[in-house]
Structure 1
Amino acid sequence: MMGISVWQLLIILLIVVMLFGTKRLRGLGSDLGSAISGFRKSVSDGDSVTQTETVKQEIK
């Protein structure tokens, strides 16, 4: 099975831009970026809470 070539990706990108427009795609990209950063922050906060609880249990 053959992979997707660069030309096929460019054609798909062109079709997507024509369908949605650049402003809408930019908004979707920024929303996706903020969602990913929020997810990473919540995961790192959860890890720090878990580490803090582990230290507290070890002290007792």
Structure 2
Amino acid sequence: MSQEGLANEAGLDRSYVGRIERGEHNLTFASLVRLCRAMRCDVAAITAGLPQVRRKA
């Protein structure tokens, strides 16, 4: 799938998808969900194994 095709399918701007791919922009959880739906993959599978972020009390 091309960046343009993915962006169109996810309802996102192609340049935004490109910046995410190049690591120039952090994506929001909402954008992650949209991209996963467009790629027909599970958010849990994509995020499995990532380190947990501990918040300070």
- Shared fold per TM-score greater than 0.5: no
TM-score by length of 1: 0.22
- Higher RCO (C-alpha under 8 Å, 6+ residues apart): 2
Higher helix share: 1
Max Rg structure: 1
